Amino acid sequence: MEKNYKYYIENSLKSEKGIVKKRLLKWGGALNMCDMRQEEINRIKRTCENTVKIYSQNFMDIEHTTVRNFEKIKNEFEKEIERLYLDIENIIKEKRIMDEYIKELIPIEQEFLYLKYRKGYDFNFVAMKMNVSRSQVFRIKDAAIDNLIEIIKNHENEIF
Q: Is 160 found in the same domain as 112?
A: yes
Model-level pTM?
A: 0.77
Q: How many CB atoms lie within 10 A of CB 75?
A: 10
Q: Of the candidates 43, 64, 96, which is a domain's last residue?
A: 96
Q: Is 145 found in the same domain as 89?
A: no
Q: Of the candidates 44, 68, 96, which is a domain's last residue?
A: 96
Q: Is 31 found in the same domain as 90?
A: yes
DSSP three-state, residue 157: coil
Q: Is 91 found in the same domain as 108?
A: no
**Domain span holding position 124:** 104-160
Residue 20 covered by a domain: no
pLDDT at residue 17 is higher than 60: yes
Tell me which residue of 76, 81, 100 sits closest to 148, measured CA to CA: 100
Model confidence pLDDT, tens digit, residues 55-108: 666 655 555 556 677 778 888 889 999 999 999 999 999 999 999 999 999 999
